[in-house]
């Protein structure tokens, strides 16, 4: 039966999906193999503190990225905090505002001021031109973010960092398994940080890691991850408890074994979204450069209201009623969140692209729990919305007036 506008759940129809489709559903590896590993951990009675799975996990990541050191941690935010502290960052650090709040929190938490740079419209990553204008005598580092797994302009940033004698770090939370000019992300700058949160491409339930070729920095981070202990009864620095437990490390290893499958599913979903929605005025499905290795973790659409004739938030409201829980990451931009809005009230003044993207970006469900039928159905629905947008807009206006 042909769908009518009245059939949309937002206007009283029944939802397209009876069970909810989420952004961020975890990729689950082979359960039997994972459980066997967990049984082994329980039998061995070695549950955490530099255990064999942790060591194996770190080695596999360092080898895969092509760096000398991987320091795995209990989460990505903790990894950032340990890095900021171990690198001795002070004063001001330049970061994008268009990222997950943890990037800035890790600095502010340690009394380092995050200075917000705008992003580029094309890449959604920090704009080197704007960033250069923000450098002051207080600036100690740049913390770029490879948003959606797409690389920052690493060459430009490296040049700026060298010229201005700044440290250069990356929050690569979205970019595990991605490459840039054929080189794995994780190997750029002075160090990079991954998140292995449940919602990430590769997960350890909660977890993270810092990867670096700087042996001394890695040594300091290892100490800080474990209370500053360098031996039994010997504490030689201030430290936190940032350790990754054995069950999490085993989860990470199990996921690493299936990374190709995860990528293949994500890529398949991405291609359906792209093919179905590539010629819609005012709607762009963000593109991954297929010459590189990508994890295709995020399906990101940019909706320009003037051309699309419905706002991103209109589309979001319609989708949520259909049980499609799309997400408007990273709304409203860190500069507009507390405590940053109050602490640095002028920091949002010159972020036009960030201000624009926070109103336009919408992330769609993908990952191994989303099959081709789901994606096809989501695309059917979006095509219907596009076809009927005039009537939908009128109905939405009347509804909000009423």
Residues that bind ligand T4K (CB under 6 A): 22-26, 75-77, 99-100, 102-103, 145, 171, 173-174, 195, 197-199, 208, 325, 327, 329
The answer to whether 239 and 291 are in contact (CB under 8 A) is no
| Least distance between ligand T4K and beta carbon 271 (Å) | 22
Alpha carbon distance 55, 66 (integer Å): 16
Vertex 260, ends 257 and 263: CA angle to 5°?
Answer: 130
| Least distance between ligand T4K and beta carbon 172 (Å) | 8
Vertex 292, ends 289 and 296: CA angle to 5°?
Answer: 65
The answer to whether 70 and 190 are in contact (CB under 8 A) is no
Nearer to ligand T4K, 46 or 331 (CB): 331
| Least distance between ligand T4K and beta carbon 340 (Å) | 15
Nearer to ligand T4K, 5 or 362 (CB): 362
Alpha carbon distance 402, 396 (integer Å): 10
| Least distance between ligand T4K and beta carbon 72 (Å) | 12
Alpha carbon distance 92, 18 (integer Å): 49
The Cβ-side half-sphere exposure at 70, using a 13 Å CA radius, reads 27
| Least distance between ligand T4K and beta carbon 251 (Å) | 12
Of 149, 155, 86, nearest to 296 (Cα)? 149
Of 123, 113, 85, 129, nearest to 240 (Cα)? 85
Nearer to ligand T4K, 105 or 389 (CB): 105
Nearer to ligand T4K, 102 or 119 (CB): 102
| Least distance between ligand T4K and beta carbon 193 (Å) | 7
| 372-387 helix and 312-321 helix, angle to the nearest 10 degrees | 130
Nearer to ligand T4K, 26 or 151 (CB): 26
Nearer to ligand T4K, 139 or 366 (CB): 366
Alpha carbon distance 58, 202 (integer Å): 14
Nearer to ligand T4K, 5 or 295 (CB): 295
| Least distance between ligand T4K and beta carbon 361 (Å) | 12
Alpha carbon distance 174, 172 (integer Å): 5
């Amino acid at each position: 039966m042909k769908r009518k506008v009245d059939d949309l759940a937002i206007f009283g129809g029944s939802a397209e999906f009876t069970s909810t489709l989420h952004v961020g559903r975890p990729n689950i590896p082979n359960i039997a193999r994972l459980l066997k590993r967990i049984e082994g951990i329980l039998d061995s009675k070695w549950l955490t503190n530099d255990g064999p799975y942790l060591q194996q996990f770190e080695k596999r990541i360092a080898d895969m990225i092509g760096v000398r050191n991987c320091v795995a941690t209990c989460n990505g935010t903790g990894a950032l905090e340990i890095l900021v502290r171990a690198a001795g960052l002070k004063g001001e650090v330049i970061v994008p505002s268009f990222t997950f709040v943890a990037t800035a929190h890790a600095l502010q938490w340690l009394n380092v001021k995050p200075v917000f740079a705008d992003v580029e419209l094309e890449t959604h990553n920090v704009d080197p031109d704007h960033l250069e204008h923000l450098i002051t005598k207080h600036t100690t580092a740049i913390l770029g973010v490879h948003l959606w797994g797409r690389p920052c302009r690493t060459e430009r940033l490296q040049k700026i960092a060298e010229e201005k004698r700044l440290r250069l770090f990356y929050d690569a939370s979205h970019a595990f398994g991605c490459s840039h000019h054929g080189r794995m992300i994780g190997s750029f700058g002075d160090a990079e940080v991954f998140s292995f949160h449940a919602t990430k491409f590769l997960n350890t339930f909660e977890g993270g890691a810092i990867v670096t070729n700087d042996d001394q920095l890695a040594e300091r981070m290892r100490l800080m991850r474990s209370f500053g202990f360098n031996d039994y009864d010997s504490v030689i620095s201030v430290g936190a408890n940032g350790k990754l437990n054995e069950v999490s490390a085993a989860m990470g290893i199990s996921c690493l074994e299936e990374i190709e499958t995860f990528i293949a599913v994500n890529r398949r979903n991405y291609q359906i979204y792209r093919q179905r929605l590539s010629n819609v005025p005012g709607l762009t499905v963000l593109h991954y450069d297929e010459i590189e290795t990508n994890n295709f973790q995020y399906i990101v659409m940019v909706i320009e209201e003037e051309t699309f004739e419905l706002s991103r938030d209109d589309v979001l409201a319609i989708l949520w009623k259909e049980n499609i829980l799309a997400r408007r990451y990273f709304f409203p931009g860190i500069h507009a969140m507390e405590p940053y809005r109050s602490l640095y009230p002028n920091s949002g003044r010159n972020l036009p692209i960030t201000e624009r993207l926070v109103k336009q970006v919408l992330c769609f469900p993908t990952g191994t729990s989303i099959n081709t039928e789901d994606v096809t159905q989501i695309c059917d629905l979006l095509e219907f919305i596009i076809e009927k947008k005039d009537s939908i807009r009128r109905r939405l206006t009347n509804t909000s007036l009423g």
